[in-house]
Amino acid sequence: MENRRASRYRLKVLHEHRSSGRVKRKVSELIFVNDQPKIIVGWVDLGGVRAPIYVQNVDPAKLRPLGVKHFFRYDGVTDDPQDTQRMPAYAERTSSAR
């Protein structure tokens, strides 16, 4: 059986990631779509095939090579797309319920 967790993308990025109000350092995969950098912060397994589910656009000016082959550093902070407290619809529901 092949290793499904093996990386498909060669480029990695070290970045700060905010989730549940805490910021932690994380290594994610980096892709370029139409010369615009994007960080893949979440994956889903679709029938044994690993597919990106959460992709964040990043500022190219804050992306720099680390000096190690295929590794970059992003000087901004990415946000967890599953963090419900940061979602606008969640904020509207909780403020109107009070």
The pLDDT tens digits of the residues spanning 18-68 come to: 988 889 999 999 999 999 999 998 888 888 888 888 889 999 999 999 998
Count of CB atoms situated within 10 Å of the CB of 12? 17
Mean pLDDT of 88-92: 54
List the structure tokens of 94. 């909780």
Stronger pLDDT, 61 or 82, i.e. the higher one: 61
Contact 73, 59 (CB under 8 A): no
pLDDT score recorded for residue 40: 92
How confident is the model at residue 93, as a pLDDT? 53
Mark 37-62 as b/e (b = at least 16 C-beta within 10 Å).
bbbbbeeeeeeeeeebebbbebeeee
Which pLDDT does position 42 carry in this prediction?
85
User: pLDDT band at residue 1, thresholds of 50, 70 and 90?
Assistant: very low
Count Cβ atoms below 10 Å from residue 28 Cβ, excluding itself.
23
Residue 11 pLDDT exceeds 90: yes
What residue ranges do the domains of the chain occupy? 12-97
Q: At residue 6, does pLDDT exceed 60?
A: no
